[in-house]
Amino acid sequence: MSSTSSQTLSASFVRNFVEITKIRLSISVVFSSVAGYLLGVEGPIDFFILLLLCVGGYCMVGASNVYNQIIERDLDAKMERTKNRPLPAGRMGVTSAFVLASVLTLLGIGILYVINPQTAMFGAISIFMYVSLYTPLKTKTPLSVFVGAFPGAIPFMLGWVAATNDFGIEPGTLFMIQFFWQFPHFWAIGWFLFEDYKRGGFLMLPNGRRDKGTAIQVILYCIWTVLASLIPAAGVTGRFFVTPISAIIILGLGIWLIYHAVKLYNLKTDKAARRLMLVSVTYITLLQIIYVADKFIR
C-alpha cells in the first residue's frame, strides 16, 4: 500500500509541476535561449554552459509562471481554459506553490550566475517584470501586452549574453525581433479566447474589441516583425548577420505571416485568429532555426 501511495504522490507531484510551470511554454522559451547561445558562441560549443542555460532558463520561466498563477488563482477559476490548473482546482496549496516558485527563482538565478553575472541579471529582470508589472496590469489595461513583451523578448538575447558575457547590437537585435513578434502572437490568442479572458477580467486586445482596429494593429506588428527579422541581412548588426539566401527564405516566411494577419482582418473569426497564432509560433521557431543554420552552414 505504501509503495502504491508513494507512486501516486510522485505522479501527482510531477503532474502539478508540469502544469504549474507550463512545461510547453517553458521549453519553447528555453529553445529561444539555446538559439541565441548558438548564434553568439565563438569556437566550440560548451555543452556544460548550454546545459546550465537550459536548466537555469527553465527554472526562471517556471518560477514566473508559478508566481503568475498564485496571483491569478481566483481569476483562473473563472475561465474554462485555466480552471483545472493545480491552484484553482485545489490540487496544490498557495504555500506549496510559493515555496516551489521561490526555490525555482533561487536555483535559476544561481545557475545563470555560474554562466556569468549579466545572464543572471537579465533573468532576474525578466521574472520581476513578468510578475510585478505584466501580471497585475492584465486586468487594468491592454498596455499589459506591451509591458509583457519586454520580459518575453529577453530569452532570445539571453542566450547570446550567456555565450559572450556581452550586451551589444547583436543581442539587442534579437531582443527587438522577439519583442515585435509577441504583439500579433498574443493579440491572436486574445482574439480567439476573448470570451474566456472576459470572464477573468483580462484586457488583452489593444482596443478591447475584435474589430478591424485590432486587426490593423496585428498586421502592422507582423510587418514590423518581418522587417526586424531581415535587419541582419543588411550587415549592420555586428557578428549577427544572415546570407541573402536565408534572407529570401525569411522574407517568404514573413509574407506567410502577414497573409494570415490580413486574413484575420478580412474574416474577423476565431478560426482565423487561432490559425494566425499557430503560424506565428511556427514563424518564430523556423526563424531561429534559419538563423542558426545560416551561421553554421555558410
3-state secondary structure 278-296: HHHHHHHHHHHHHHHHHHH
> pLDDT digit string (tens) for 237-258?
999 999 999 999 999 999 999 9
Q: How far apart are CA 248 and CA 42, in angstroms?
A: 26
Give the CA distances from residue 113 to residues 57, 77, 105, 238, in Å, rounded to whole numbers and listed in that order: 11, 36, 12, 26
Percent of the chain with pLDDT over 70: 97
- Where does the pLDDT of residue 1 fall: very low under 50, low under 70, confident under 90, or very high at 90 and above? very low
pLDDT of residue 177: 98
Phi, psi torsion values for 108, nearest 5 degrees: -60, -50
Q: Taking residues 23-34, what's their average pLDDT?
A: 95
Locus of grid cell 490593423? 216
**pLDDT range class, residue 5, cuts 50, 70, 90:** low
Separation between Cα atoms, residue 23 and residue 54, nearest integer Å:
13
pLDDT digits (tens, 9 = 90+) for 83-139: 999 999 999 999 999 999 999 999 999 999 999 999 999 999 999 999 999 999 999
**Tens of pLDDT, residues 72-81:** 999 999 999 9
How far is the C-alpha of 123 from the C-alpha of 112, rounded, in Å? 8
Q: What is the pLDDT of residue 10?
A: 74
Cα separation of 170 and 27, whole Å? 23
CB 113 within 8 A of CB 124: no
- Enter the C-alpha cell of residue 6: 508513494
Domain boundaries, the chain: 12-167, 169-298
- Is 3.50.50.60 the CATH classification of the domain at 12-167? no
Report pLDDT digits (tens) over 147-158: 999 999 999 999
Q: Is the pTM of this model over 0.95?
A: no
